[in-house]
Amino acid sequence: MLNCAVFAGLGVIVGLNVQSLESVGLFNNFLIVPMSFLGGTFFDPASLPLALKGIVYLLPLTYTTLGLRAAAYKPLAEFPWYALPVLLGFAMALSAIGAYQFANQQD
C-alpha cells in the first residue's frame, strides 16, 4: 500500500509537470527505469560499495524491495521495520508536493 502511495504521489507530480504525452517517456527513462535497476530489485543493496549505497538508499523502491524480500524469505524477527516509516515519509512528501502543485497550477 505504501509503495502505491509513493508512486501515486510521484505520478501526480509528473502528470502536472509534463507538457505533452511524449514527454512522459522522458520522465520514465530518467526516473523510473534507473530506479528499477538501482532500487535493489535485482541485487541486495547491502552488498554495494559505500558510495553506491548512499544513492540506492535515497530511492523509495529500495525500501519496498527490502520489505518484500524480507516478507518472502526471512522470519518476522528479521523484517526491516524501518522501511515502513521511510516509505510513509516518501509518500507524505510526494503527496504534499503533488497537492501543492495541483493547488497552484496555472493553465
Q: Which of 107, 87, 101 is nearest to 5 (CA)?
A: 87
- What are the boundaries of each domain within the chain? 30-101
Expressed in angstroms, the distance from the first to the final Cα of the chain is 32
Q: Where are the alpha helices (DSSP H) in the chain?
A: 2-17, 24-27, 33-38, 50-56, 60-73, 83-103
Contact between residue 105 and residue 16 where contact means Cβ atoms under 8 Å apart = yes
pTM of the predicted structure, to 2 decimals:
0.86
Cα gap 63→57, rounded to integer Å: 8
* Residues 66-92: tens digit of each pLDDT: 999 999 999 999 999 999 999 999 999
Q: Write the pLDDT tens digit of every residue in 52-68.
A: 888 899 999 999 999 99
